[in-house]
Amino acid sequence: MKIPEIIIVETVHQPGSLAKVLQVIAEAGLALEQLVALRRDQGRTLWEITLEMDEEADRSLYERIGKIPTARFVGKSDRVFNRHRGGKIRIVSTVPINTREVLRDVYTPGVARVCLAIQKNPQAAYEYTALGNTVAVVTNGTAVLGLGNIGALAGLPVMEGKAALFADLVGINAVPILIEETVPSRVVELVYGIASSFGAIQLEDFAAPECFEIEEQLRAKLQKPVLHDDQHGTAVVTLAALLNAAQRSGVDLRASIVGQIGLGAAGSGIVRLLQAYGVRHVLGTDLNAGALARLAASGGEPVSLETLMQRADIVIACTGVRGLIRPEWVRSGQVILALSNPDPEIEPLVARAQGAAFAADGKGINNVLAFPGLFKGALEARVRCFSDSMLMAAAHAIAGLARGDELVPSPLDRELHEKVTAAVRAAAESMPRS
């Protein structure tokens, strides 16, 4: 697994000194992710260099850099850890509590009036509390990123990251909830027991097949939006990318043969949404017989990996297996989305070099493009559940903001999240109310 390795190197401020350091890095077969000049004084420059390195990579690189006459290896940076230190989220008051009057109004005795008003009319909670803008981000840590079953506590940095993105991108309060339970019925019971604290529930990093049962049961029991982001957020962004790929290739997405490699949470969610969109022919492959049975039951066709690569016009991979797709399997004109993070099934550059019309990985086709606006739109519309029309509206909004040769826009584009929110809200408001 490739993870960021951040090193600090000092070079003499003269032509070629940095180039020699970069040459050593290139000779080690490492990809340069980022290069930043931290400071320059007294004829020397301090560089922060971010590399993609496997855990087993040869660290003698540092010694070789140190042997360059015009360079010095200073050490490793703690940048990533420093940005997590103390956590990435906090709760702040929306009301300055600076007088006794304010204190008595927001707490006792004044708060009692608001409590009684909500007791009389529970819908008043959406007006007088943060309920309508608060999401629970729930995990049991059984399928975290590309790390697998590392447990709920080890998955907390991911949940905090989700909460930070909610807050920064769309102004939603999100609270990480860690559950030390893997039995679906018990997970459902625990989430149901705390659900009244939140306007919506985001399920995150639950392993398949348990995740399907957990989401289904919670949707049936709760009268508020529930979304397993690994399934549906990923599916929305994948559909958005395919809408653009199909349009630019001049092909009909619905008539294309789509091959899904890996039928876990993300893969199954993608298949389900593409079929709902109208894709008529879906191939799928997985090592799990139960996953193949679910695909067949939904109208998909189970095939071998090699057969899928031979027949599919569009190939989507969500396996977590680095390098699974051999370059020689790629056919000219195929669309290849290798979505596993942090290491794709095939590097996009390699796929394009083999003739792929479009190729992308999970760094670009990422559910951060979808989930903030999905939840913001659902909460603003006060719907009881997510619908396929809401998911498709989000996909079309994302696709419409891609520029140039991008399949999807940047997740840092604030207009993106506003457009997704508006599209989801409009789709939700057009749904019949029961």
Catalytic residues: 107, 162
Task: Provide Rg for the chain, Cα atoms.
Answer: 24
Q: Which residue has the tokens 């697998």?
A: 148
Measure CA 217 to chain center.
23
Question: In degrees rounded to 5, what are phi and psi of residue 39?
Answer: -165, 160
Q: Print the SS3 string covering the chain.
A: CEEEEEEEEEEECCCCHHHHHHHHHHHCCCEEEEEEEEEEECCEEEEEEEEEEECCCCCCHHHHHHCCCCEEEEEECCHHHHHHCCCCCCCCCCCCCCCHHHHHHHCCCCHHHHHHHHHHCHHHHHHHCCHHHEEEEEECCCCECCCECCCCCCCHHHHHHHHHHHHHHHCCEEEEEECCCCCHHHHHHHHHHHHHHCCEEEECCCCCCHHHHHHHHHHHHCCCCEEEHHHHHHHHHHHHHHHHHHHHHCCCHHHCEEEEECCCHHHHHHHHHHHHHCCCEEEEECCCHHHHHHHHHCCCEECCHHHHHHHCCEEEECCCCCCCCCHHHCCCCCEEEECCCCCCCCCHHHHHHCCCCEEEECCCCCHHHCHHHHHHHHHHHCCCCCCHHHHHHHHHHHHHCCCCCCCCCCCCCHHHHHHHHHHHHHHHHCCCCC
Closest CA to 202 of 361, 341, 362, 379: 379
Q: Which amino acid is at 191?
A: V
